[in-house]
Amino acid sequence: MIVRSSLVYSRRSGVYSAIGLGLGIAVHIAYCLAGIALIIAQSVVVFNVLKYISAAYLLYIGIKSLRARREHEVRAEGRKDADLTKRQAIRLGFITNVTNPKATLFFLSLFTLVISPTTPLFVKLIMGVEMVLATMLWFALLATIISHRSVRHRVHGVQQYLERVMGGILILLAIKVAATSHSK
């Protein structure tokens, strides 16, 4: 998603999408700390609802990618929506991460390994903030590299094909997420 945002839209969109991913992780961390992740992991119904929402969103982004036109064609028409606004980019990253049911299981597993019931709340909060910031910084760095002029120049000729490949990958990922079984 960060690669797509950075190539299709701009470095700014990629970086703001990275911020959205980090905010999505903050939600996962918050409910893990509150113990709600255990309920989600144990409930087949809640897990499946999250799973299908996530799959539908990935499918939507994938289809949108398959139907995308070349970036320079959109910009040549002078369309103002050729780039995402800050809010749209953050929302894209946030929704992508928050609707990921595997993130719930990942953070639940991570927290049960790393955090004990006796771990002080401030230590848990520091760990959570560190994960959010590390995610934001890593994906912002990726967006910066991917959107660099020399990388974009090399990709420009095949961008429409890459967009379609990314769309196909997102659709396959949506199918994989939808087919994921609930395991305890």
Given a cut of 90, is residue 23 above it in pLDDT?
A: yes
Burial class (CB in 10 A: 0-12, 13-18, 19+), 6: buried
Residue 113 confidence (pLDDT):
67
Give the tens place of pLDDT for each residue, 117-176: 788 888 888 988 999 999 999 999 999 998 898 888 887 777 778 778 888 888 888 888
Burial readout 156-184 (b: 16 or more C-beta within 10 A, e: otherwise): eeebbebbeebbeebbebbeebeebeeee
Confidence of residue 76 (pLDDT cuts 50, 70, 90): very low
Q: Give the global pTM.
A: 0.70
What pLDDT score does 70 carry? 56
In the prediction, which pLDDT does 80 show? 47
Calculate the CA dihedral of residues 129, 133, 136, 138 and round it to 10 degrees: -130
SS3 state at 154: helix
User: How many CB atoms neighbour CB 126 within 10 A?
Assistant: 11
Q: Which of 21, 145, 30 is nearest to 92 (CA)?
A: 21
Return the minimum-mean-pLDDT range out of 6-10, 49-53, 89-93, 127-131: 49-53
Interval 98-123: pLDDT, tens: 887 777 777 777 776 677 778 888 88
Please tell me the total number of residues recorded for the chain in this structure: 184
pLDDT class for 13, splitting at 50, 70, 90?
very high
Q: Is 108 exposed, middle or buried (0-12, 13-18, 19+ CB in 10 A)?
A: buried
Domain boundaries, the chain: 2-179
**At CA 5, angle to CA 58 and CA 105, rounded to 5?**
45
Tokens 């961390």 found at = 29
Q: Higher-confidence residue: 43 or 16? A: 16
Tokens 């967009």 correspond to 163
Q: How far apart are CA 126 and CA 87, in angstroms?
A: 26
Q: Is the pLDDT of residue 12 over 60?
A: yes
Tell whether the model's pLDDT for residue 77 goes beyond 60. no
Q: How many CB atoms lie within 10 A of CB 34?
A: 10
